[in-house]
Chain A
Amino acid sequence: MSEAIAINATEEQVARAHLAHHFDTPQQQFDAGTLGMWMFLATEMLLFSGLFCAYAVFRATHPEVFRYAGQYLDPVSGLINALILLTSGLTMALAVRFAQTGKRFALSLCLALTMLGGVAFLAIHAKEYFDNGQAKLLWGTHYAPTVGPNGKPIAPVVGLVPLVVKPKPVASAGWQQLNALGKTGFVVSHSDIMPAPTGPSGVATSQKPAAPENPFQPANVQIFFGIYFLMTGLHSLHVIIGIIVIGWLLIRSFRGEFGPGYNAPVVYVGMYWGVVDMVWMFLFPLLYLIH
């Protein structure tokens, strides 16, 4: 990339001015920063990897929960967000290029577009969070939706008596799809893992699991939403940090600080934004496209 660009004497001076005392050449400084940034991004991936691992464990042990709860999420908004982030990834990559070639107006424009993409992503995501909150599709004990993914009311649980709901033929496309997948008619097959007791003791009971209170709704759906909010929440936090850092780059770009001689911060932030994009490209199918 940078070797293709001729650096004139003025830019050479700019590069020298940004050289810290313990480095010999600007190239050595840039290489050290790039390596450090890659390592930092590797630790970011490892930070997410814990959540991906939890996702894998719970999806393996509770497949019915993921199949059921995934239907609550709207794949269209997830896809729009994916396209928005991909586009912002392109503008960020262009920004890096324009910083290296010294096109300052184009650089500022691309940075602003990238920020705009991040903000649009967050706006759509906030709308989804708001809807989830309205529908009480939340984690842990906060999970209390009144309607199922098919839009029909969920039968309330009365006391400790299991309320048996006879499966009725449902016409919605989502349910037909679900039925085609499941081999046991309307009842989604549930795992043999003991349901945890509700008491604080944390010790599993020795009884066989009782029949699901609502055949349409498997037990422990709240686990999915716990993982959903953790994964998307951590990702959104990274988007917010990215927007702030790109804003800082934009201010410096207005001041004309970047050019062929000095553009390392733009390159490093570009790498970071690429990773933020990439994480969503994994989160989107894992959460929104479960069936």
Chain B
Amino acid sequence: MTALAGNNYGDTPVVPAKPDNYLTHGKTIRSWLLTLDHKRIGIMYLVVGLLAFFIGGMLAEVIRTQLLVPQGLIFHGTGSVASSYAAYRYYNQVFTLHGIIMVFLVLIPIIPGALGNFALPLLLGAKDVAFPKLNLISFYLYVVGALLAILSTVLGAVDTGWTFYTPFSIQTESYVVVMVLGIFLVGFSSIFTGINFMVTIHKLRPPGMSWFRMPLFLWSIYATSLIQVAATPVVGITFVLLMMERVMGIGIFNPALGGNPVLFQEFFWFYSHPAVYIMILPAMGIVSEIIPVFSRKHIFGYEFIALSSLAIALIGFLVWGHHIFVNGQSAELDAVFSFLTFVVAVPSAIKVWNWLATMYKGAIVLKTPMLYALSFIVLFTIGGLTGVVLGALSEDVVLHDTYFVVGHFHYVMMGGTLIGFIAGLHYWWPKMFGRMYNERIAQITCVVMFIGINLTFFPQLMVGADGMPRRYASYLPMYQPYMIASTIGAYIQLVAFLTMAGYLMHSLFYGKKAPVNPWGGGSLEWETSSPPPHDNFETTPSVGDPYDYSDLVFDAAVNGYVHIEKPEESLVPVTAPH
């Protein structure tokens, strides 16, 4: 314990030689597992989520390897129809598990759970989320749900596809109940996270931070939470009914007992369509944070980006019928849902144009987070526009259940959500762990990733337009060139992800110490040390415009940005601790 020069806290006589941060605040495993600190819970979400992503990703590689040759490279019969059927069932299990893990265990929870938990109170200048215990419960519900998903796979893997359509999901001899129970628990984790974040944003904003002075990531998290709270209970009861079908034979969704299988589809998509906005909205929020920082320019059209998040959340509730266009829905409903599907594309387009306008005449810095944000704009735009194609009635009749849908969905989810997540991970990595990763390798990885994603998913759009159905374990030889290209793209992505895992792990131990503000961000998390202390802020930070960069200059001495006294009215006092 020695006094540290230049870090004088007034009347505090002794300060620790090494400032305490949240990572070193408690060293026991118990201090992690039972922590109520939102930052540690965020890190735990990150670890479990990335583990699930690794499993889901490897399953994707199995799928792509299977589809290298028309009759299937891994699972194929010995000539007879029966042996092919038996072998292809394994393929059904693999793509089902890939879908369930990626959707319910990665895409939905990872940005709110990992980055949202870590960053949300910091962006608010708050000490924690409103209900820290509920936050920990959410995390463990997520973990238990994930374990049940693994258990059901061990017992007898589900082969229904991630959508669990009845009546097949009632008849199939696999452990649907265990899997669905797991997803039910993950759903409650999602609900509790949503409630927690909404209450935090309502009640824990610091004085001076009005709704329209919040960073845009908070707006997008708020809109996400709104969907989580309002849509997830419906899928909860749907899955309860599905479990009751299998356990008790209740008959609501079972046509053999007088039930209505399309009702299941209505219920399922009433949640699962808004759920894709649960996945994409936080990624949009991350991009809205990154673009102005790396353009060194105030965000353009703040109110439009903020309110378009809410518009997406609200209109997103009214478009679920476009999944049921060809499943016996009336033509009038089809037309209404098609129209609303076009409408929901508008707020997304508003965001894209505002990001482009922000970059216009900005001093763009092509650091890794910015490269990923730019990739997001390109990939998400392709994904979004193909979504409009699918929303058009006549085209959907042709493209329904083809690889075009697969390509569209993966452009939005992989190119949108996951690229947005990776952008956010690189953006907040120095704040999370206090270390810088190797910038050059990260930039190269981003370019490789961009190539890999396009090579994987663009041929899928083409082959789908040619008529190849989704979910098939084998295909006509005419589609093979596309399939080979797609598989090569998937391998390129694998290389990129492994490289990323390598340099990020390396940075944890050997990376350069991160400065307080490496990128020159104006929001409150860049006011505290990297990594932040247990209570987030040594002193309560004062709130200014989060997108005002005029008083931030690069200081080579600390390899980061510091505040300078502005000539006229200074909203943010000089708090640089060096």
Contacts and interface: CB of A to CB of B under 8 A. Distances in A.
B and A form one assembly = yes
Interface of A: 20-23, 28, 31-33, 35-36, 39-40, 42-44, 46-51, 53-54, 57-58, 61-62, 139-142, 195-200, 202, 204, 219-220, 222-223, 226-227, 229-230, 234
| 5 A-B pairs with the lowest CB-CB distances in the bound complex, closest first | A50-B237, A220-B258, A46-B233, A22-B127, A140-B249
A36 B195 contact: yes
29 contacts: A22-B127, A23-B204, A32-B130, A32-B200, A32-B203, A33-B131, A35-B202, A36-B196, A36-B199, A39-B195, A39-B198, A40-B195, A42-B229, A43-B195, A43-B229, A46-B233, A50-B237, A50-B267, A53-B267, A57-B260, A139-B249, A196-B259, A198-B256, A200-B171, A220-B258, A226-B250, A226-B259, A234-B237, A234-B240
- Most A C-beta atoms less than 10 A away, residue of B204, B240, B250: B250
B420 to A, nearest CB: 26
B1 interface: no
Contacts of B191: 43
B452 to A, nearest CB: 39
A31 B248 CA distance: 42
Interface residues of B, number: 48
Interface of B: 121, 126-132, 134, 167, 171, 191, 194-196, 198-200, 202-204, 229-230, 232-234, 236-238, 240-241, 244, 248-252, 254-261, 263, 267, 535
Nearest to B233: A46
A20 B249 CA distance: 47
B233 A44 contact: yes
A223 B203 CA distance: 45
A31 B236 contact: no
A197 to B, nearest CB: 7
A32 B263 contact: no
A226 B203 contact: no
A133 B191 CA distance: 36
A141 B250 CA distance: 8
A125 to B, nearest CB: 18
Contacts of A49: 233-234, 237
Contact of A36 (B131, B250, B256, B267): B131
A230 B250 contact: yes
A139 B263 contact: no
Contacts, number: 132
Query: Counting chain A CB atoms within 10 Å of each CB, which of B196, B237, B258 scores highest?
Result: B258
Contact of B258 (A28, A33, A195): A195
Contact of A223 (B131, B240, B251): B251
Most A CB contacts (10 A, CB to CB) among B130, B171, B196, B200 go to B130
A223 B252 contact: yes
B258 A223 contact: yes
A202 B249 CA distance: 15
B251 A43 contact: no
Given A36-B195, A47-B233, A226-B252, A141 B257 contact: yes
Contacts of A40: 195
A214 B25 CA distance: 74
A199 B199 contact: no
Given A28-B203, A54-B263, A202-B167, A46 B234 contact: yes
Contacts of A141: 249, 257
Contacts of A42: 229-230
Given A220-B258, A226-B259, 12 more contacts: A22-B132, A23-B204, A39-B198, A42-B229, A43-B195, A47-B233, A47-B237, A141-B249, A141-B257, A222-B251, A223-B251, A226-B250
A54 B252 contact: yes
A43 B204 contact: no
A142 B171 CA distance: 18
B524 to A, nearest CB: 15
A155 to B, nearest CB: 20
B199 A32 contact: yes
Given A43-B233, A47-B237, A57-B263, A202 B130 contact: no
Contact of A22 (B171, B195, B202, B204): B204
Contacts of A35: 198-199, 202-203
A249 B455 CA distance: 60
Contacts of A36: 130-131, 134, 195-196, 199
A198 B230 CA distance: 37
Contact of B250 (A20, A48, A58, A140): A140
A274 B249 CA distance: 32
Nearest to B239: A50
Contacts of A54: 241, 252, 263
